[in-house]
Structure formats: structure tokens, C-alpha cells
């Protein structure tokens, strides 16, 4: 925890405004996270990871996000591949990938947002003799230009979810379109389109029933709540003592204690706290808050972004209900 705090205060926050204005997050910032061992945060100790428990993982994410949401946003995408490979993948794949991923020598993004959308699959996987062929769209991939592989999720003709490591490089069968985001624009977030993109069996990390993934996804909503807590945490630090200090602690506790059914409401409350704290920071900072050289406008845009990032239908319903209960 101490190393995460030092990085947030000494490296990420001092560079946050420059990062916000950049085309892409500086690789040196990601290198510092790797040098601190944090790319192995979720990895097992036997592979060089830190073996962090869930509470430590989410606290580190919050602390780093309070330094710079953009850098943390890129960094957070990495850990899904580490967890999946450590828990489910064949021994040969673990031997090849797990240690380099934990050291940050290889860095991963993730592409599974399409699984949450209703209707036909956006990205499908077709079985071949030696692997799979991917066709379709991954609408949201973060870290392009700063990652080596994407941990991609596609659906096969039996409805299963096929997870595979795909090289993060455009080519004849892989087309990339940058997304012009209003916040975290330097995160390298893109849409990726696959056309007969071949993936060998040795790159497949897991094949699982869709229902199994859906249950795992519902139980994994806590981590993204740390991003909202991180933005709120920085707003509280810049505001000085305020009513939001206690609310930040309450939101964190609610997320930590929430079961699957309670998580959407806890996530909605955390996102709203970030927005309210950022709004108060804008107001109290006065006219200078709208300058791109001021942290208030950055944090306000990030708080708006976090209203919809990682949003499920259940979270959206809780957000709407929360706003409707609020007096005008």
C-alpha cells in the first residue's frame, strides 16, 4: 500500500494534468507501476505476483486513481488476464505468460464489454482444426499503444465464451478505430474490428459457459467502484475538510460489504459521490476551475465519465432511482 501511495502522490498526481492533455499516457508512468511490482498485484507469489487479497487490490486501485484516473484506467485492464491465466489456463500457457505479465514485461488489455449487451453476440469465435477464428467487433478496448495483447472474449456457436490473448497490433484481419473520449482521452481506448482473425489454441486462456461468466461478472463489480472512490478521494483532498469525507468512508464500506444483489446500488452511490464532490470542487475553485491547467475541470469530466463506465443495466437502474429520490 505504501508504494501505491508514493506513486500516486509523487508521480501520478503531479503528471495528471499533462497526462490529461496528452495523446497517450506516458509509458514511463506505466513503467513505474511495473517497477513497483504492481502489474503483479493480482498474480500468485509463485509467479512473481503480490497475491493481493480483494480488499488490498481495491484499495490500491482507489489510491492510484486518486493520483491519475487515466493511468490507472489503463493499468486496471491488465489484471483480468493475470487472474484468468493463473486460475484456469493450461500449464504451458501459464509457464509462457504468467511471470512476464506479473512483472509488467508483457502488458494486457481486455475486450469483453460486448458480452454485456443484449441481442446477438458482437464478436463470435468459430472453431478450426488448430484454434479459433474471430469475427465481429470489440467496442471498447483500453490501452492501445501501451499494451502487448488483448484478452478477448467471444461467443461460439454453442453460446460459450472463448477467452484468448490476441496481439494488440492492427493488420489485415484486425482494424482499430480510436474513440474520442471526453475524459481519460489519453487511455488509448479504441474499437477493434476482427475479420477472420486466427487465434491458435495455445493462446486460448479459457472456454466457459456464458452463464458461468455472467455470474462471475455480477460478483466482480466491486473493483471498478474504486475508480469512482479514487476521484472522490482526490476531490476531498483538494476541498479540505467537508461532509464528503464521511460519505467517502461510507461508500467504501458499502462497496466492501455488498453482496451480488447490493453491488449495483453501492456502485451507483459511489459514482454519484464522485460527481457531487467534483461539482463542489468546481464551485469552490471559482472561475479558474474551467481552465485546463486546473485539476477541478479534469476531475469533473472524469466523474461524469464514471457515471457510465462499467455500467450494467442493474447499475443504471439504481442510478436512475437514486436521482429520482433526490429532491430538486
Per the structure block, which three cell numbers stand in for 183?
Answer: 475524459
Q: Are 68 and 13 within 8 A, CB to CB? A: yes
| C-alpha closest to that of 323 among 277, 268, 274 | 268
Q: What is the DSSP letter of 117?
A: S
Per the structure block, which three cell numbers stand in for 271?
Answer: 459514482
Element housing 290 (H / E): none
pTM exceeding 0.85? yes
| DSSP letter for each residue of 153-186 | EEE-TTS-EEEEEEES--BTTEEEEE---SSSGG
| C-alpha closest to that of 104 among 56, 18, 169, 35 | 35
CA distance 209 to 213: 7
Q: CB under 8 Å to 321, separation ≥6 — which residues?
A: 268
Q: What's the fold here for domain 108-208?
A: Butyryl-CoA Dehydrogenase, subunit A; domain 2 (2.40.110)
- What residue ranges do the domains of the chain occupy? 2-103, 108-208, 220-325
Q: Where are the alpha helices (DSSP H) in the chain?
A: 2-7, 13-21, 27-35, 54-67, 69-76, 79-88, 91-103, 210-219, 222-239, 244-257, 263-285, 295-305, 313-325
Residue pLDDT, tens place only, 18-44 = 999 999 999 999 999 999 999 999 999
Per the structure block, which three cell numbers stand in for 107?
Answer: 502488458
- Per-residue pLDDT for the chain (328 aa), expressed as one digit of tens each? 788 999 999 999 999 999 999 999 999 999 999 999 999 999 999 999 999 999 999 999 999 999 999 999 999 999 999 999 999 999 999 999 999 999 999 999 999 988 988 889 999 999 999 999 999 999 999 999 999 999 999 999 999 999 999 999 999 999 999 999 999 999 999 999 999 999 999 999 999 999 999 999 888 889 999 999 999 999 999 999 999 999 999 999 999 999 999 999 999 999 999 999 999 999 999 999 999 999 999 999 999 999 999 999 999 999 999 998 865 5
CA distance 109 to 138: 12
CA distance 85 to 101: 10
- Second-level CATH architecture of 2-103: Orthogonal Bundle (1.10)
Amino acid at each position: 500500500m505504501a508504494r501505491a501511495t508514493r506513486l500516486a502522490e509523487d508521480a501520478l498526481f503531479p503528471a495528471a494534468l499533462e497526462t490529461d492533455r496528452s495523446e497517450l499516457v506516458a509509458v514511463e508512468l506505466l513503467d513505474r507501476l511495473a517497477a513497483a511490482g504492481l502489474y503483479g498485484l493480482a498474480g500468485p507469489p509463485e509467479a512473481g505476483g503480490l497475491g493481493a487479497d480483494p480488499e488490498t487490490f481495491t484499495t490500491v486501485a482507489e489510491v492510484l486513481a486518486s493520483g491519475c484516473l487515466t493511468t490507472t484506467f489503463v493499468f486496471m485492464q491488465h489484471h483480468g488476464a493475470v487472474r484468468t491465466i493463473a486460475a484456469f489456463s493450461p500449464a504451458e500457457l501459464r509457464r509462457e505468460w504468467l511471470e512476464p505479465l506479473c512483472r509488467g514485461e508483457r502488458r494486457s488489455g481486455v475486450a469483453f464489454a460486448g458480452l454485456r449487451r443484449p441481442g446477438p453476440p458482437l464478436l463470435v469465435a468459430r472453431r478450426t482444426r488448430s484454434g479459433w477464428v474471430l469475427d465481429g467487433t470489440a467496442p471498447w478496448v483500453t490501452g492501445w499503444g501501451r499494451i502487448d495483447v488483448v484478452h478477448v472474449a467471444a461467443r461460439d456457436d454453442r453460446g460459450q465464451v472463448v477467452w484468448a490473448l490476441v496481439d494488440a497490433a492492427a493488420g489485415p484481419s484486425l482494424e482499430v478505430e480510436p474513440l474520442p473520449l471526453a475524459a481519460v482521452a489519453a487511455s488509448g481506448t479504441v474499437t477493434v474490428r476482427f475479420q477472420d482473425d486466427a487465434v491458435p489454441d495455445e493462446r486460448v486462456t479459457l472456454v466457459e459457459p456464458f452463464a458461468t461468466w455472467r455470474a462471475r461478472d455480477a460478483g466482480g463489480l466491486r473493483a471498478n467502484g474504486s475508480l469512482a472512490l479514487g476521484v472522490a478521494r482526490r476531490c476531498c483532498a483538494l476541498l479540505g475538510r467537508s461532509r464528503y469525507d464521511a460519505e467517502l468512508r461510507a461508500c467504501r464500506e458499502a462497496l466492501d460489504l455488498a453482496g451480488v444483489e447490493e453491488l449495483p446500488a453501492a456502485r451507483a452511490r459511489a459514482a454519484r459521490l464522485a460527481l457531487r464532490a467534483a461539482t463542489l470542487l468546481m464551485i469552490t475553485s471559482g472561475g479558474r476551475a474551467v481552465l485546463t491547467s486546473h485539476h477541478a475541470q479534469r476531475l469533473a469530466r472524469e466523474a461524469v465519465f464514471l457515471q457510465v463506465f462499467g455500467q450494467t443495466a442493474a447499475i443504471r437502474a439504481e442510478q436512475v432511482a437514486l436521482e429520482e429520490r433526490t429532491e430538486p
